[in-house]
Chains A and B, each alone.
Chain A
Amino acid sequence: MSQTPQPNDPQFDDLRRLLAMKRAERPPQETMDGFLDEFHKRLANEQVADAARRANSWWLRLRERLGIAPAVPGDEAFPALRRLLSLKRYEHPSPAYLDNFLMRLNRRLLAEQMHPVAFWARLRESLTERPLAFAQVGVAFALTFVLTIQFYNYWQRPDVSATAQASAPTIIAAAAPERQVHVTYDDAHVVDAPDGSVVMLPAGVTHPHVHFVMDHVDFTPKVYAASFNY
């Protein structure tokens, strides 16, 4: 049976006295002086980061793109900020700076007309400006190409059953080495076996037992030769 530890147990007196000395330990005064400023600075940074996170969240961006942005407070919520931002209107270059604007523009237009930018240079510029858009177009083209190839292969696949039925050819069967059997469509009929293979039964035989199992057939349009092992 264990004893419940007592907080004032005399056996810990020395340890308590030792730890009590830690109470006298104080941080440097300059650290404490700057603590509040540092706290405010870090808090402000956190608040800025938090506001940026909210503004740039993917969910909000998606809703804005889809035109279902949430209802938000209007101008009335930011009167002081709006007045502050309106002071930016006073910031503009000197009048002379913009007076020469037209002259510089006309000079540049003339230069571009005399030395038109090559198609490849314009394409490269567009690629640089809109890499994401071009990546999307590239992926779309690649998908279209792959799908086109797939559809082409699908539609070009020969319809063997239709060809065979249309011409009703004679089938020459390659039998096992000790026995060779020639059959025609008139002599036999083909049924599907439960295991997925094709079973050929001689004409007139309706017995369910398997007599010939065709596991490999080659059809060519000219010869219509077939071989099977059984």
Chain B
Amino acid sequence: MDLPTQPVSALGDDAALVERARANDPAAFDELVQRYKQRIYGTIYHMTSNHEDANDLAQETFIRAFKNLHRFKGDSSFYTWIYRIAVNTTINFLNSHRRRSKNFLSLDDVDARVQDDPDFIERTSGEGPAGEVAANELMRQLNVALQKLSPDHRLVVTLYDIQGLSHAEIAKITNSSEGTVRSRLYYARLQLQQLLKRYLPEKN
């Protein structure tokens, strides 16, 4: 599975698919789902740290999108729109439940390629089974730290540092200014820096 690091613009033109989906072409909406399921799922998962919730909320997101497709005016791109639905659905869920998500991380959840990543090697010292354990422990600690942030702070970190979106894109998705996004990102990182101190070099 490819990591969701390619720019969204590289995914091609969504407008034609949206038009076809509006004209009751189910294949077109399926194509949109295939395009964005991984990103949407990933965003929600990093927000909730729970696969069951992420799966449910990702489906909820696409169901809402399907039902409200007639309201999509095209003022923004489809991916901004679908992200906004996903973000609102997730934040509403987090606010209404206000519970600590259980972490259902399993060994299969961490891509084995992480062990080749220089940043991973720098922070852990292990290959093979020891590397897997180290990777899972690291991911668990990252999830625990992320769960300690408020939903607003967790969202900007997820979208910027993990999903690789730009400040401008996040501002559109969250319906706020770029300054607000930068501010939230800064204060979220300050907290994470304290929470993940043991994995960071002293100087940082």
A positions within 8 Å CB-CB of B = 44, 47-48, 51-52, 54-56, 60, 63-65, 67-74, 77-95, 97-98, 101-102, 104-106, 108-109, 112, 128-131
User: Is the Cβ of B33 less than 8 Å from the Cβ of A87?
Assistant: no
B59-101: CB near A (< 8 Å → 1, else 0) gives 1001100100000000000000000000000001101100000
B13 touches A (CB below 8 Å): no
Q: A60-B183, A104-B59 are in contact. Are A129 and B92 (CB under 8 A)?
A: yes
Residue of A nearest to B192 (CB): A81
B9 touches A (CB below 8 Å): no
User: Is the Cβ of B199 less than 8 Å from the Cβ of A84?
Assistant: yes
User: Is the Cβ of A102 less than 8 Å from the Cβ of B51?
Assistant: no
How far, in angstroms, from A131 to B185 measured CA to CA in the complex?
27
20 A-B residue pairs with Cβ-Cβ distance under 8 Å, sorted by A, are A48-B194, A54-B190, A64-B176, A67-B176, A67-B180, A72-B185, A80-B204, A81-B192, A85-B142, A87-B142, A89-B5, A89-B162, A90-B3, A90-B114, A91-B105, A91-B109, A98-B38, A101-B59, A104-B55, A109-B66
Nearest chain B CB to A93 CB, angstrom units: 6
How far, in angstroms, from A80 to B204 measured CA to CA in the complex?
7
How far, in angstroms, from A120 to B5 measured CA to CA in the complex?
42
User: Is the Cβ of A68 less than 8 Å from the Cβ of B179?
Assistant: yes
User: Is the Cβ of B139 less than 8 Å from the Cβ of A88?
Assistant: yes
Tell me the count of chain B residues lying within 8 A, CB to CB, of chain A.
70
How far, in angstroms, from A81 to B181 measured CA to CA in the complex?
18
Task: Provide the residues of chain B in CB contact with A60, threshold 8 Å.
Answer: 183, 187
B2-27: CB near A (< 8 Å → 1, else 0) gives 01110000000000000000000000
How far, in angstroms, from A87 to B193 measured CA to CA in the complex?
15
Count, A-B residue pairs, CB within 8 A: 166
B37 touches A (CB below 8 Å): yes
User: Is the Cβ of B111 less than 8 Å from the Cβ of A105?
Assistant: no
How far, in angstroms, from A54 to B191 measured CA to CA in the complex?
9
Task: Provide the residues of chain B in CB contact with A88, threshold 8 Å.
Answer: 46, 139, 142, 161-162
How far, in angstroms, from A60 to B186 measured CA to CA in the complex?
12
Q: A47-B194, A56-B150, A102-B30 are in contact. Are A92 and B63 (CB under 8 A)?
A: no
Q: Which 6 A-B residue pairs are closest in the complex by CB-CB distance? A: A69-B183, A55-B187, A72-B186, A90-B114, A80-B204, A90-B111
Candidates A65, A85, A94, A102; contact of B192 at CB < 8 Å: A85
User: Is the Cβ of B162 less than 8 Å from the Cβ of A84?
Assistant: no
Nearest chain B CB to A58 CB, angstrom units: 13
How far, in angstroms, from A216 to B187 measured CA to CA in the complex?
71
User: Is the Cβ of A84 less than 8 Å from the Cβ of B191?
Assistant: no
- Find residues 28-57 in chain B having any chain A CB closer than 8 Å to their own CB: 30, 33-34, 37-38, 41-42, 45-46, 51, 55
